[in-house]
A and B are shown apart, each in its own frame.
Chain A
Amino acid sequence: MTLPVNLLISGTQLLARKRQSFIAMLGVIFGIAMFIFMISFMKGVNNYIQDTMLSAIPDVHIYNDIRTDYTSSVTSIWLRNDPDKVVVVHHPRPEKVRLNLKNASLIISDLKTRSDVEVVSPLLSTQVFFNYGPVQLNGVLDGVNILEEARLFSLRERMMTGRAENLLTADKGILLGQGLADKLNVVRGDQVTLATPAGNSMRFRVVGTFSFGLSTVDNIKAYVSLSGVQQLLAKDHDYITDIRVKLKDINMARDLAVVCRKKYGYKSEDWESSNPSIKAGNLIRDTLTWVVSLTLLTVAGFGIYNIMNMVISSKMKDIAILKAQGFDGKDILMIFLSQSLVIGILGALAGLLLGFLLSYGLSRVPFPQTEFTFMKFFPVVFDIKYYFFGAGFGMLTTFVAGVLPARKAARVDPVAILRS
């Protein structure tokens, strides 16, 4: 096999100045490696933050918003709908409202038929006081079907002591947030007394503790069975205030929330709308990553541009002699552009490898442990998509950086060079 003469010339020239070529390549290598490293790490951070913040937030949350309805106030009875009178009521007090979802079981079974829904978990939640000896703490008691709740929030991984399923077997069992248990100073087997604002109270036995890594949850929340809360509140067995949904694809939450709102008539919130800061944080970190990476790659491009310009300035005589011997502008362009491309392609491949190694290294570095972190190592995402992008952009940069000097070379007037 014979190499086309243009490539032979290009390759020989490239090898004749290995050091210079290598330095130009280093720019590309570092640019692409840093891009891979930063994007892999930032995506890991995004995922970690999102997972943590969403760990106690369902994808879609359906509940009965307190809608104060004043149209049926006592005034109508008073005035007997006399159209001649205008009544202004200052600071009205709403009628007592029921917060439950009236057709909850229908909604639940309907949601479960949807193919995009992973878990549907009903909830009856109430404010309670936790009493243990002299200690009295304010908190939230969630009555749930623990099997579904466990799937909704990955409870099994979050159990610190005991098992989530203990709620099924124990009579009047309770799972406490770890922070709450610590403050009450109770352990598995202890009994705590729960009192509602309305004055009802019941005793539950601690069968486990859990931690979400969020003090806002761990310090106030406790789980009992649905029927436990229904009894405590003296409500019927179908009295449910909330339905929480986990989706197969978290990004479909917004659409489903809209569907639910229309179909069931209750307030439906998706995680994005209720936590705009998550998306904002992701966007800021992503922007930062892309700006820094693209800057690095562009700087690498300037490196190639500079070096190729220097090379071409020092090769004017050679260009003239090649043209005199029958090489045309296109040949000269090929000769010098291919040098840039070789630098770019080899640099990109080496950069991808270095970027992978750096990312892999970081993913093996232990993350400093505190009681609220569940991360053993620094979070890193390995996604082939970014490798393709890095390689593509790297080559595009080198192409642009190479084509400008190469075109200059192609336009060299041999007579002007040979005369001087």
Chain B
Amino acid sequence: MTTTDVPPEVDAATPPLQRRGLSPLMREHLRVYAPLALIVVALGVVTTVYNPAFLSGANIGRLLAANAVLGVLVVGQTLLLVGGQLDLSVGSLVSVGGVVTASFVLHGLPTVVVVAVCLVAGALIGLCWGLIVAYLKVPPFILTLGGLAVFASLALTLAASTPIPMPTGMTWVRAEVLGVRVAVIVWALVILLGALLLHFTRFGRNVYAVGANEEAAFLAGVPTARIKMALYSINGLLAGLAGVMFAGRVGAGDPRGGVGLELTVVAAAVLGGASLAGGRGSIVGGVLGVLVVAMVTDSLSFLDVPDTYNQLVLGVILIGAVAVTATSEIRRIRAARRTG
């Protein structure tokens, strides 16, 4: 019989429910990670041959610190994408966060208060997105695209269109602990917490379920609305944190600082195996995606390629990566049809 409804039983020769080797899901993850890791290593090698300064400890530290903002955002976006959600407003939120941070610092507010305000405000904005998506059923793409515009304009208005310098504020972001920049440590902590949440709690399983099949999840009792609100809140909180880190890194509140960041974030997450259709992706993948983006931009400048080519190269890699996953996906589904 060749109907999809009644595929033949799994080969009777294999003992039932046997456990052998690497988990199939893990193998699938490796298929995503291996090419990314390869790109990172290859770029590293090529660039180092050309310019040995690339592989110096100082340069790697700088590279990581420069991408910590992106890295923090990718963790939040990956969580969202796995849950079948999307937030494009993060770019503008980073701008607003930076502007608010700088002006608060100039008003003499203590660092702790500034950070807390940014985190809470970010989380609340995220919660709003979550409420609207969950209860008013507005498509996340449209909603957060609107949010992107609204907050971009807000950042410009708040800062009167010019960066607000704060040379002495938020210097902890640039400080080093045991030779590692604090921004990188913060990023690492965010990765750790994100991975714990997504991969080692049952909350994470609920996120995958909502992304993979929301109707089935709902009927199984998953609190889909609350899961979505949680995801958007976490992402908003991380966007607030990224805003503070961004202001700290450049020593100013730049109202245009986050322009275009949302696309890089989504690109990195998708490179790392997350799917815009939901139910797919991992934190490790997202981090690798960021590293690829970072390596490409950085090694191109080390190779003296004009940085006008950055976007082009990244775009090509993204299309390539998505095409590879898509074709292997199609092959997998066809194989599943054939073998039952």
Q: Do A and B come from one complex?
A: no
